[in-house]
A and B are shown apart, each in its own frame.
Chain A
Amino acid sequence: MIKRLDEMVDLVRSAGRKYRIAVAWAHDANTLGALKMAYDLGFADPILIGIPTEISKSAKKAEVDITGLRIVEVGNDSEACAKAVELARSGDADVVMKGLVGTDKLLKAVMDKEKGILPPRAVMTYVCAFELPSYHKLLFMTDPAVIPFPDLDQKVAMANYAIEMANRFGIENPKVALVGPSEKVSRHFENSVEYSVMCKMSERGQIKRCVMDGPLDLFLACDPKSVEIKGIPTPVDGNADILLFPNLESSNPFYKSLMLFGGAELAGMICGPTKPVVVMSRSESEKSKFYCIALSCLMA
């Protein structure tokens, strides 16, 4: 069972594969730096898509030597997105990664009905793993980035992606906490209703390979002492592996506060498309960007 993100990197390297990463509009110095780290460690084979002179300029500015990295020339950022997705679709790339282009542009190409890589009816969401100084193991969460107000089906899909990811980390039956403001069920909190339904689905084997409970507040999810004090019998037992949030409004500030105040490093990616899609935000550290690349290779 992997407890640190560096161990995840080791696991990726141990596969002995070079994952082909199609980078859309690779004009971003930070991205190039993180890619170069992955390249130097021998598990990444970046395909830089963009204007070659611009890519070289960015690399020089970031003092990154991109000798040996493949470059595919396109005229603009939309073409870069389309090309990256096309390479993934044809099996010529294992991962799609965003460079210096808006997330919406890249996801538009990913979701394109004819040329995209999102299967019909598949739910697209974001799952990430946090390494925190204040928690004894990795903490996965979903969805801090993509679905504003997930419905029940989307929440189930989110849980399943997170469980699958945790499984890849060697966590066989991850404890999934469905996060809310309290552990009580109330008709006035639609999420507590959906959570109850999800718990029953898990009991009945409609959601597999996990231990699920919710609603749970963050303390009951991650702090065994609170479980003891409150006396709520919960199989998650203050030892959650995965936190599922009810909506973007609660998940995104949580995600950002961990980075800003919690000293967190993270690895995250978009789940749902046939190939992992890496969409990093500027606020992530270079280390986290590198972890995102490693994670997408692990999940490829």
Chain B
Amino acid sequence: MVLKKLSDLGSIVQKEPRKKLVIAAAQDKYSLNAVMNAANDNVIEPILIGDKDMIFSIAKLGGFNLDGIKIIDEPDTEVAVEIAVKMANRGEVDILMKGMVGTSTLLKAVLNKEWGLRTGNLLSHFALFEVETYHKLIAVTDVAMNIAPNLQEKISIVNNSVACLNKLGIPNPKVAVLGAVEMVNESMTATLDAALLSKMNQRDQIRNCIIDGPLAFDNAISHESAKHKGIRSEVAGDTDLLLMPDIEVGNVLYKSLVFFAKAKVASVILGASVPIVLTSRSDSEQAKYDSIILAAAAS
């Protein structure tokens, strides 16, 4: 199945039992709205942890009903986070979401050695874009979490993302390892790592995907451009996942897709025992909603 729109994720989620989502410090208007919309669409079953009074007043303003919704009253955000993470740790929920609390507080709890959500895998950010000018959804990683991943970290990032794409019904995603050029150049580490990742994939050391790189951005997303350059590649022009060399490239690409290409995006943190929705304040309510759906599909 080829996913063309973020709304296609809904059909994946509908086929599965409803996922439980816990939101820590739920007293955030935009996050709560997105959660309640997803709940009303029957995509998730929410558990709200936070300042009950504030949650109710946001609900009132937003005009949604909290009858039958599980709410745990905990005004202290740090404690709210701890409760939420512990629930995920015990397997009581499928998705963890950040509300009105700092990212660092949430991640610190996630990485807690006793009751956190460590799996031994690296945590990585996974963004799924709907861009009008591309023929399917395209995932980009890592644009927000890992600053300058080394080879081993890149392998983990790919593995996280591929497992997620597999869950989204793409059994053998095409992974383009991004570089400034498609040639191997000893003085550009990204191109060397790309060559290694390709070979490890050929040798079954990285599975369930097809990796090629280095590919320049144009080769990765355009058949024509790859053809023009004479690149023979299964991936070029049909990429499902773009692996960024570092956060600086990734973050700029992410933002230029959103601002210049008017792309829609859903994102999730992978590598913990449950997917984590960790959208930022600047993300639209739609992006938050789509991220919840993505997390539900990925869990």
* A residues adjacent to B (C-beta < 8 A): 152-153, 183-185, 187, 193, 195-197, 199-201, 203-206, 232-233
- Kindly report which residue of chain B lies nearest to residue A152, judged by CB atoms: B186
Cβ contact within 8 Å between B183 and A195: no
Nearest 10 pairs of A and B residues by beta carbon: A200-B195, A196-B199, A197-B195, A196-B196, A185-B200, A201-B184, A196-B195, A200-B184, A185-B199, A204-B183
Q: In the docked arrangement, what's the CA distance between A233 and B182, Å? A: 24
List B contacts of A153 (CB < 8 A): 186
List B contacts of A187 (CB < 8 A): 151-152
| B177 CB to nearest chain A CB (Å) | 10
Q: List 19 A-B contacts (CB under 8 A).
A: A152-B186, A153-B186, A184-B205, A185-B196, A185-B199, A193-B192, A193-B196, A197-B192, A197-B195, A197-B196, A199-B195, A199-B198, A199-B199, A200-B214, A201-B184, A201-B195, A203-B232, A204-B231, A233-B202
Cβ contact within 8 Å between A185 and B184: no
List B contacts of A152 (CB < 8 A): 186
Cβ contact within 8 Å between B200 and A204: no
Q: In the docked arrangement, what's the CA distance between A201 and B183, Å? A: 7
Can you list, as one digit per residue, whether each of B263-279 has a CB less than 8 Å from chain A (1) or not (0)? 00000000000000000
Cβ contact within 8 Å between B203 and A232: yes
Q: In the docked arrangement, what's the CA distance between A203 and B196, Å? A: 13
Q: In the docked arrangement, what's the CA distance between A260 and B210, Å? A: 44
| B210 CB to nearest chain A CB (Å) | 12
| A152 CB to nearest chain B CB (Å) | 6
Is there a chain A Cβ closer than 8 Å to B194's Cβ? Answer: yes
* B residues adjacent to A (C-beta < 8 A): 151-152, 182-184, 186, 192, 194-196, 198-200, 202-203, 205, 214, 230-233
Q: In the docked arrangement, what's the CA distance between A187 and B197, Å? A: 11
| Choice from A195, A205, A206 contacting B199 with Cβ under 8 Å | A195
Q: In the docked arrangement, what's the CA distance between A152 and B185, Å? A: 11
Q: In the docked arrangement, what's the CA distance between A116 and B286, Å? A: 72
Q: In the docked arrangement, what's the CA distance between A206 and B205, Å? A: 25
List B contacts of A232 (CB < 8 A): 203
- Kindly report which residue of chain A lies nearest to residue B182, judged by CB atoms: A204
- Kindly report which residue of chain A lies nearest to residue B152, judged by CB atoms: A187
- Kindly report which residue of chain A lies nearest to residue B199, judged by CB atoms: A196
Beyond A184-B203, A185-B205, whether A200 also contacts B198 by CB under 8 A is yes
Q: In the docked arrangement, what's the CA distance between A67 and B182, Å? A: 60
Cβ contact within 8 Å between A205 and B152: no
Cβ contact within 8 Å between B194 and A200: yes
List A contacts of B198 (CB < 8 A): 196, 199-200, 203
Q: In the docked arrangement, what's the CA distance between A233 and B199, Å? A: 12
Q: In the docked arrangement, what's the CA distance between A187 and B151, Å? A: 9
Q: In the docked arrangement, what's the CA distance between A206 and B229, Å? A: 13
Q: In the docked arrangement, what's the CA distance between A62 and B184, Å? A: 54
- Kindly report which residue of chain B lies nearest to residue A205, judged by CB atoms: B230
List B contacts of A185 (CB < 8 A): 196, 199-200, 203, 205
Cβ contact within 8 Å between A197 and B184: yes
- Kindly report which residue of chain A lies nearest to residue B186, judged by CB atoms: A152
List B contacts of A196 (CB < 8 A): 195-196, 198-200
List A contacts of B199 (CB < 8 A): 185, 195-196, 199-200
| B114 CB to nearest chain A CB (Å) | 32
Q: In the docked arrangement, what's the CA distance between A62 and B221, Å? A: 70
List A contacts of B183 (CB < 8 A): 201, 204, 206
Q: In the docked arrangement, what's the CA distance between A40 and B59, Å? A: 103
Cβ contact within 8 Å between A204 and B196: no
Q: In the docked arrangement, what's the CA distance between A204 and B205, Å? A: 22
| A238 CB to nearest chain B CB (Å) | 16
Residue in A153, A196, A200, A233 with the greatest tally of chain B CB atoms within 10 Å:
A200
| B91 CB to nearest chain A CB (Å) | 35
List B contacts of A205 (CB < 8 A): 230
Cβ contact within 8 Å between A206 and B152: no
Q: In the docked arrangement, what's the CA distance between A199 and B182, Å? A: 13
- Kindly report which residue of chain B lies nearest to residue A216, judged by CB atoms: B203
Q: In the docked arrangement, what's the CA distance between A201 and B188, Å? A: 14
Q: In the docked arrangement, what's the CA distance between A206 and B185, Å? A: 10
Q: In the docked arrangement, what's the CA distance between A193 and B182, Å? A: 18
Cβ contact within 8 Å between B203 and A204: no
Cβ contact within 8 Å between B152 and A204: no
| B220 CB to nearest chain A CB (Å) | 14
| A246 CB to nearest chain B CB (Å) | 15
Q: In the docked arrangement, what's the CA distance between A77 and B38, Å? A: 89
- Kindly report which residue of chain B lies nearest to residue A196, judged by CB atoms: B199
